[in-house]
Amino acid sequence: MKKGALIGCGFFAQNHMHAWADVDGAAIIALCDRDDKRLKETAERFGIERTYSDAVDLMKSEELDFVDIATTVQTHRPLVELAARSKVHIICQKPFADTLADATAMVDATAAAGVTLMVHENFRWQSAIRAAKAEIEKGSIGTPFWGRVSFRSAYDVYASQPYLATDDRFIIQDLGIHILDIARFLFGDVRTISASTKRVNPAIKAEDVATMMLVHESGVTSVVDCSYASRLSRESFPESLLEVDGSEGALRLMPDYRLVLHNASGTRELDVSPPLLSWAERPWHNIQESVYNIQRHFIDCLNAASTPETSGTDNLKTLELVEAAYLSAAGNSRTIILGSA
Interface ranges with ligand 89Y (CB under 6 A): 157, 161, 174-175, 178, 238
Give the total of residues touching ligand NAD (CB under 6 A): 26
Binder of ligand NAD out of 51, 72, 201, 263 (CB under 6 A): 72
Q: Where are the beta strands (DSSP E) in 121-158?
A: 144-152
Site string for ligand NAD, 117-156 (x = CB under 6 A): ---x-x----------------------------------
Query: Residue 313: which H helix or E strand, with range?
Result: helix 312-330
Neighbours of 291 (CB within 10 A): 24
Binding flag, residue 216, ligand NAD (CB under 6 A)? no
Which residue, 10 or 188, has its beta carbon nearer to ligand NAD? 10
**Cβ atoms of 182 and 149 closer than 8 Å:** yes
**Cβ atoms of 193 and 320 closer than 8 Å:** no
Q: Residue 115, exposed/middle/buried by CB under 10 A (0-12, 13-18, 19+)?
A: buried
Distance CA 197, CA 316 (A): 22
Q: Where are the beta strands (DSSP E) in the chain?
A: 2-7, 26-32, 50-52, 66-69, 89-93, 117-120, 144-152, 190-198, 209-216, 221-227, 241-246, 249-254, 258-263, 266-271, 336-337
Amino acid present at 4 = G
Binding flag, residue 51, ligand NAD (CB under 6 A)? no
**Partner touching 307 among ligand 89Y, ligand NAD, none, CB below 5 to 8 Å by kind:** none
**Partner touching 230 among ligand NAD, ligand 89Y, none, CB below 5 to 8 Å by kind:** none
Which residue, 86 or 293, has its beta carbon nearer to ligand 89Y? 293
Binder of ligand NAD out of 38, 130, 199, 252 (CB under 6 A): 38
Binding flag, residue 107, ligand NAD (CB under 6 A)? no
Q: Rounded to 10 degrees, what is the CA torsion of 157, 162, 165, 171?
A: -50
Binder of ligand NAD out of 86, 93, 110, 116 (CB under 6 A): 93
**Partner touching 188 among ligand 89Y, ligand NAD, none, CB below 5 to 8 Å by kind:** none
Which residue, 54 or 156, has its beta carbon nearer to ligand 89Y? 156
**Cβ atoms of 177 and 94 closer than 8 Å:** yes
**Partner touching 175 among ligand 89Y, ligand NAD, none, CB below 5 to 8 Å by kind:** ligand 89Y
Question: Torsion-angle region of residue 135: left (phi > 0), alpha (psi -120 to 50) or beta?
Answer: alpha
**Partner touching 11 among ligand NAD, ligand 89Y, none, CB below 5 to 8 Å by kind:** ligand NAD
Which residues contribute to the site for ligand NAD (CB under 6 A)?
7-13, 32-35, 38, 55, 70-73, 75, 79, 93-94, 120, 122, 161, 174, 287
